Structure 1
């Protein structure tokens, strides 16, 4: 159950992180009604969204870490988080940036990262 809760919290955390890091590129672009929004306001908005990322990330790491009774080593948590970040990013980018195309090289790189998860968890 701790593994499931950790992964669920990491998915939520990374959803907020991706929105904070990349959402402004779409919602405050030159083609939007908010193109003139000052950068400092966009930064504050992103920090506000990132607050919720931490509200899920910190508990995920506490629940999941073997240091606090969880099922994952520190290295496993990090690699798991990176792959979840990529999955969330791919979904977000396809939903929000409709003209974004992934190439074979992207998918090969993603597959290598999934392979990293395999080898980290195997050892």
Structure 2
């Protein structure tokens, strides 16, 4: 159950992170946001990133082996990176429809999956 909770919280965390980091790139298309200055965009993104931390910190505390969780610190990091890539890919496909997912991206993702394998290998 701690593994599922950890992964679920990491998915939520990465969703907020991706929106905070890349969502503002579409502000020019949204009425009311198009004229925001850089400082306002930074403040808005920072506000969204707050929620990232509200999920990230508990995920790591619940999932960390020394706190009774199932994962080492290395495993937590590689899980987070893999989830980040998946969330980012979905976000990009949905929000940035002019960006295409190409074979070189898939090959790179394959290497990251291999990284997950090697990090979890005993």
Judge same fold: TM > 0.5, yes or no. Answer: yes
Q: After TM superposition, list the pairs within 5 Å mapping 1:56-75 onto structure 2.
A: 56-75=55-74
2: CA distance between counterparts of 1:40 and 1:13?
23
2: CA distance between counterparts of 1:94 and 1:105?
16
Could you list the per-position Cα deviations for residues 68-119 of structure 1 after superposition, in whole angstroms to 9, with x for gaps in the alignment?
1100000000000000000000001111111110211110001100111011
Q: After TM superposition, list the pairs within 5 Å mapping 1:12-23 onto structure 2.
A: 12-23=12-23
| Alignment correspondent of 2:10 | 10
1: CA distance between counterparts of 2:30 and 2:72?
44
Residue 97 (1) aligns with residue 58 (2): no
Could you list the per-position Cα deviations for residues 11-65 of structure 1 after superposition, in whole angstroms to 9, with x for gaps in the alignment?
0000000000000001x23x44333211100000001000000000000000000
Unaligned runs of 5+ in 2: none
**Which 4+ runs in 1 deviate beyond 3 A?**
none
Give the root-mean-square deviation of aligned CA atoms: 0.9
2: CA distance between counterparts of 1:100 and 1:67?
41
2: CA distance between counterparts of 1:93 and 1:121?
28
Number of corresponding residues: 121
Q: After TM superposition, list the pairs within 5 Å mapping 1:78-89 onto structure 2.
A: 78-89=77-88
2: CA distance between counterparts of 1:45 and 1:92?
18
Unaligned runs of 5+ in 1: none
1: CA distance between counterparts of 2:35 and 2:47?
20
